[in-house]
Chains A and B, each alone.
Chain A
Amino acid sequence: MEKIYWQSLEKHTEQQISVLNNNKPLPEFSIEGLDESEIKGKSSRRDFLKMLGFSVSAVALVSSCQMPVRKAIPMLNQPEELIPGIANFYASTFFDGTDYCSILVKTRESRPIKIEGNDLSPLTKGGTSARVQASVLNLYDDARLKKPTRQREETNWSTIDEEVIKQLNALNATGKKVVLLTSTIISPSTKGLIGEFTTTFPNVEWIMYDPVSMFAMRKANEMQFGKAVIPDYHFDKAQIIVGFNADYLGNWLMPVAFTKQYSANRKLAGGKKTMSRSYQFESNLSLTGSNADLRYGIKPSDEGLILLNLYNEIARNTGATIYPTADSPIDIMPVAADLLKNKGASLVVSGTNDLNIQLIVNAINNLLANYGTTIDLNRPMYLKQGNDEKMARLVKDMNAGDISGILIHNVNPVYDYFNAKDFISGLYKTSFKVSFADTMDETAALCDLVCPNHNYLESWGDALPVEGYLSIMQPTIQPIFTTRQFEDSLLIWLGQNIDFSTFMEKFWATKMNDNHIEGGNFTQFWNQTKHDGVYQYPVENETQPSFVDQKLTSGSNKKGAGLELVLYEKMSIGTGKYTNNPWLLEMPDPITTSTWDNYLCISPNFAKENNLKLEDVVSINGFFEIPVLVQPGQPDGTAALAVGFGRTSAGKAGTNVGQNAYPLMNSQNNLAGMTGTVIQIEKISGKTYPLALTQTHHDMEGRPIARETTLPEYLKNPFAGNEQHVFDEEHNVSLYSKIQYDGLHWGMSIDLNSCTGCSNCVIACQSENNVPVIGKEQVKNRRIMHWMRIDRYYARSEENPEVYHIPVMCQHCDNAPCENVCPVAATNHSTEGLNQMAYNRCIGTRYCMNNCPYKVRRFNWFEFTNNNKFDFNMNSELGRMVLNPDVIVRQRGVVEKCSLCVQRIQEKKLVAKMEDRELRDGEIRTACQQSCPADAIQFGNLLNKESAVYKQVKEDRMYHLLEQLHTLPSTSYLTRVRNTEA
């Protein structure tokens, strides 16, 4: 053996190993060492059977795990009209103290699941608003009180009644003053009942209160016309509409009815060549402003000035009194000229709760002879009866200790009164406090007794929004909780042994006999009215009351240092009554596309000067902190903030969302003014607050998406603005033949000239199709689930942009990019042109989402049902009652999208089949179309040449979104036409 030298022990070991290895013979390959079993293979048939038996039994065991049993108990005696699986519709009325709408309530198995517009209503004509659509969810709100409470402890009605009757009688006997504080009440029978109540208890005074008030308008009309009323307006008869901070398409008085009227006069279908022109002067970018043909951003302090200049200009031409004033900061000559050209067919409105301004507006309308044509003082509108002066007096009296009892119905002044502090201190001095709130809201929490009112879907009632238009409310579900209607409570306390429906019937029986019902049969009239939901009776057509001149001034013209604040109501939650409604909280604002918050809108110039950007936090007057949103179109020197947020006791979704803006109201002359407060803002450096916007890019990048033209251009060339369509029609050629449909090809058409972007369709779709709410964080992550979204683009200047609203949902392409990429064919094309989703087949590769150029497909990122992380309506037994049983609730991991309401299509197809007839055009209406207040959406069979949708598709303004991609959508759009000169 070789001698080995080593330096260390380690080296020695290593060397030894290598020597060993070296010496070992290395046989390359050998069969030796393999034993017999290896060669033969060991597993026997017996082993195989054993394994098989084990596998089969294991699989059987695992798969036999049961789903939990859920019991559905059939009715013992089934009511005749109730057929499981068939929806019943009941006409009813929505009125929440602010908004009125005539509705149909869709019920399934005796529970309301959807609100639809009532076509028979001469006012709302089948339209609804997002709030009306979402109101059905309030019925199934967990925050609702289950029982009456006494000192915040649940009790029963007999205890409550005993105590209230005792207290009322005692206070009445001693002559102590009691106040019945309610919202605006438009129900004639409730008014009658309250009349009886105040007669029986003469110590009771009835005060109506509106958080967003229009008291100045009533006062102005009283001064100038001797009638303290709000008149009826006819936007459809006006060729020129000039709005001053009046968001009549959004929140002002009766936006649904006004939108119907406004859009009716702006349709260009069938060769119509005229449309109204709308001017909007406003201090924030409102929905109306975004739709106006010409919009001017003004400071609130300039409103009176501009109006008075406008008045003077018109007065100069009509020879009326001219009042001295400073020059208008905006050239009003073209507006004045347009108005003068359209005397008797124009309309000037202002939403500012300021007497001076309302006086000027009336004077202008009077000079323009609009009374009797576009404004009808003989048909008073009964909305907004709140009396600011009485409310202010009440607060004073309460603090003076003059009020011993207060009954609060349908209002929440602790939250929404601008001087809530004094109201609260007054409330503490009032010994007997009763609330009728249906949730433990801020005011109810301070009351001794809470007698929860029914939800309106559980109630009987009537409404008279405008003289001559009666509307009936009827219950569509048995009361869910031990609640009682406000009116029933009053009846019991009056000692009357009837319920309110009987009272109401009797009331109308007396009243209607005077009004000479046709045929004279009250029972028939009553049943028909309950069936229709509405009844119109003639109002004697007297001449309009004569105008009394009042001295006009442009108002205080306050210009302090700082920003002039404009408060506004969001399209979603309004005054704050719906702050606990997750559908509305998650509804993107049509202008800012923000959800779940309020924020201070500041002008782009102000933002630049003060180095502020989106989500920066500022403090307002050191009062509270709020994030800012740089809003194009926000006039310099102003800022806008939405009311309705900052509720401290709203419920699980709405408590502590945003900041309460009501204390910032302009309380000059005790009028609850939305404009004019001057605020100081200070940037909290380094602090940001996330805002959940659904859209962050606002520029169309020059792409032909929302197409538009002007009226003169359109009259010259009907393809104006739509040249791209002509080009694409010529150049889009394909080797493949188009799909041929036999009999049915569903299509939708959206008239961008009618669509105002009000977002009613978004919520209607959500309600119809069980679209989940996902919460602020997920919206911020850009995962909103809405099947229908309204894209909003800005164009031209930052100071005063042109705004475009374009509703986008699945386009149901005949050449759908999503369909051919799905590996499992979960999305495919129906023989009727629908792009369908088979949820059960979807495995969630999300390829279709990527390949959809419209990005309308939605993915269930999480389990949104029964998941505590998404604690909204779908996480509660009660909240899930709103779900539409015709539409599947999607599991986590599947893609979903607009189905063109396939369940509605199937339903009506079956009806037609049963009746052995063809489908009629307009018989099937999708959820978004049915309640559109602007009638912007048409749906129907594209193969039927008589159908409304076919006619719309044949318009020259028709185009498809992204048609150059040759996706061949079944959905089309009509270009928007602005009525401007250029």
Chain B
Amino acid sequence: MYNTRVRGILIKGNKTYSDVSRDVLRPLDAPTPIWWWVTAGLAIIAMAWGSWGFYNTISTGIGAWGLNNNVAWGYAIINFVWWIGIGHAGTAFSIFLLILRQKWRTSINRAAEAMTIFAVMAAGLFPLLHMGRIWDGFFIFPYWNTRGPLWDNFNSPLFWDVVAISTYFMASALFWYMGMIPDFATIRESTASKIKKKIYGAMSFGWIGNAKSWLRFETAALLLGGMAAPLVVSVHSIVSMDFSVSVVPGWHTTIFPPYFVIGAIFSGFGMVLTLMIILRKLYSFKDYVTDGHLDAITRILTFISLIMATAYMTELFTAWYSGSEYELFTFMKNRVTGDYTFAYWTMITCNAIIPQLFWFKAIRKNIAIVFIMSIFINIGMWFERYVIVVTSLSKDFLPATWATYSPTMTEVAAFVGTIGLFVLGVLAFFRWLPTIAISEVKGVLKETTTLKSFTDEN
């Protein structure tokens, strides 16, 4: 294939099919390593603290948070948007790259999809938690009821959110799970433990790997991918409409949907980078997740970072060009200068400036620096959401109402708790599920590795 030659080696080390299965499945059979227990312990402690945060919020009320009459959204919404953004990586990787026939995605997409699932789960907790009356939260679903029937307000972006996020979660989960079915069958066949055999057997839905199954599997994957691709765009566009549909200065802007989607992909790729560097280190997957993979991600990040910088500048320009004194105040006096300069400039530095270092090959090749920078990206993206949510609300139209916001311990706990949940989910994924899509890697093995190594040898 033409693109094979262009891309170069995707899987290194002259792997055979059984090498692939063995390498990927090795951690599943090996005894649980100590680092796993330590990290899992930390994650559980974080979750315990987070549970306290959740309990405190639900038992005493939203008053346990630092919100006020003016800034009615805070950490919960910031974290929600942040997690949803991270949750973009899986779909972006698998589906976009699948549709674009980028073969190099195969060794990363599984982990990226897993990340999506856990990130969306973490994200989904916040809209639930931030409801004043969580016990009446089911009102948000449009179901036939005895109240008239009283329907939802289909004009409300929050309702769109519910639809978009649940659809996205279901599609992503389905896609992820479906991709794992052949791998589950592989585990079922290779494992010696009877219990594992039963569990993975059930999870593989009796996959037998005949040609008919494969044909259907491929078709289903492509169809699901095709259907899920618009979701990548829609879910964060809709999340962005929570803001852009409003009248709040700094929110009310048409740039938000693309800006949010790009930002989400940015943070998602950043998080993929973070996780893949950890994964290849821990499980010695350097042959599968090659330096070339990391290099490709950093190049993408550089590009996205430029788009982000453009978006930030466009926002400033629009604020000025609109001639609206409220917009101008929010951007110039409450972000660029003013009370929230730290958050604003952290955002700019982390998202628009630091990734520009990836222009240098030396930096791209230094995995330690890449790792640190990947974390900066997600810090920057967190601050972006902070800047959007808090600065706009804190000083809006009537100066008499202006108020500042700072989170309470309860909010921080809830945030840390979701990080714990995410980490624990990822750990469980590392421990019990095939972290690399065995069947897909095998699919690209011949086209790339063997052929390439063959040519290399010549």
Contact = CB atoms under 8 A, between A and B. Distances in A.
B329 to A, nearest CB: 7
Given A842-B132, A861-B61, A824 B139 contact: yes
A191 interface: no
A26 interface: yes
Contacts of A736: none
Interface string B157-168: 111001000000
A699 interface: yes
B188 interface: yes
Interface in B112-148: 127, 130-134, 136-137, 139-140
Contacts of B218: none
A860 B403 contact: no
B207 A29 contact: yes
B229 to A, nearest CB: 27
Interface of B: 17-18, 21-22, 26, 29, 60-63, 66-70, 72-73, 127, 130-134, 136-137, 139-140, 150-153, 155-159, 162, 182, 185-186, 188-190, 197, 201-202, 206-210, 242, 245-248, 325-326, 329, 393, 395-403
27 contacts: A22-B22, A24-B190, A27-B189, A28-B186, A29-B185, A33-B189, A696-B403, A700-B399, A701-B399, A778-B63, A791-B398, A821-B245, A823-B158, A823-B162, A824-B139, A825-B153, A847-B156, A853-B397, A858-B69, A859-B72, A860-B61, A861-B62, A862-B61, A893-B132, A961-B398, A965-B397, A967-B247
B398 A854 contact: yes
Contact of A697 (B136, B139, B247, B399): B399
A146 interface: no
A844 to B, nearest CB: 2
Nearest to B137: A843
Given A29-B208, A846-B62, A861-B63, 19 more contacts: A30-B189, A697-B395, A700-B399, A703-B325, A782-B403, A791-B401, A806-B400, A808-B398, A817-B247, A820-B153, A821-B155, A824-B139, A824-B153, A844-B132, A846-B73, A847-B246, A855-B401, A863-B61, A895-B132
B61 A823 contact: no
Contacts of A962: 397-398
A705 interface: yes
A438 B73 CA distance: 46
A143 to B, nearest CB: 27
The 10 closest A-B pairs by CB, nearest first: A844-B132, A893-B132, A29-B209, A861-B63, A791-B400, A782-B68, A846-B72, A823-B158, A893-B133, A849-B72
A841 interface: yes
Contacts of B155: 820-821
Given A26-B21, A703-B325, A821-B158, A33 B201 contact: yes
Given A38-B201, A702-B325, A843 B133 contact: yes
The DSSP consensus for interface residues of chain A is: loop
Contact of A793 (B17, B62, B400): B400
A843 B139 contact: yes
B398 A853 contact: yes
B247 A892 contact: no
A853 B247 contact: yes
Interface string A624-652: 00000000000000000000000000000
Which of B21, B63, B188, B209 has most chain A Cβ within 10 Å? B63
Nearest to B408: A781
Interface in A680-708: 695-703, 705
A433 B107 CA distance: 93
B189 A850 contact: no
A893 B61 contact: yes
Nearest to B251: A850
Nearest to B189: A27
Contacts of A31: 206, 208
B156 A843 contact: no
Nearest to B400: A791
A843 B131 contact: yes
Contact of A893 (B131, B201, B396, B401): B131
A909 interface: no
Contact of B397 (A39, A846, A854): A854
Contacts of B29: 21
Contacts of A470: none
Contact of B140 (A702, A792, A843, A961): A843
A695 B69 CA distance: 12
Interface string A857-870: 11111110000000
For A34, A782, A808, A850, which residue has the most chain B Cβ atoms within 10 angstroms?
A: A850
A845 interface: yes
Contacts, number: 205
Nearest to A784: B69
A851 interface: yes
A875 to B, nearest CB: 15
A176 interface: no
Interface residues of A, number: 70
A39 B208 CA distance: 12
A442 B62 CA distance: 39
A783 B18 CA distance: 64
A891 interface: yes
B153 A823 contact: yes
Given A701-B399, A820-B155, A34 B69 contact: no
B207 A844 contact: no
A33 B197 contact: yes
Interface in A916-947: none
A844 B62 contact: yes
A212 interface: no
A822 B189 contact: no
Contacts of B131: 843-845, 893
Contacts of A784: 69
A819 to B, nearest CB: 8
Given A703-B325, A823-B156, A855-B69, A28 B189 contact: yes
B353 to A, nearest CB: 30
Given A702-B325, A823-B158, A894-B132, A783 B153 contact: no
Given A821-B245, A849-B72, A38 B132 contact: no
Nearest to A700: B399
Contacts of A858: 69
A31 B213 CA distance: 13
Contacts of B63: 778, 783, 861-862
A860 B132 contact: yes
Contacts of A967: 247
A26 B69 contact: no
Given A845-B131, A847-B158, A851-B248, A29 B396 contact: no
A2 to B, nearest CB: 17
Contacts of B151: 825
A186 to B, nearest CB: 39
B215 to A, nearest CB: 14
A851 B403 contact: no
A45 B165 CA distance: 34
Contacts of B136: 843
B248 to A, nearest CB: 6
Contacts of A849: 69, 72
B70 A965 contact: no
B132 A843 contact: yes
Contacts of B246: 817, 821, 847, 850-851
Contacts of A697: 395, 399-400, 402
A850 B248 contact: yes
Contacts of B22: 21-22, 26
B251 to A, nearest CB: 8
Contacts of B69: 782-784, 849, 855, 857-859
A398 to B, nearest CB: 50
Nearest to B325: A703
Contacts of A21: 22, 26, 29
A736 B370 CA distance: 52
A854 B70 CA distance: 10
Interface in A314-346: none
A962 B396 CA distance: 11
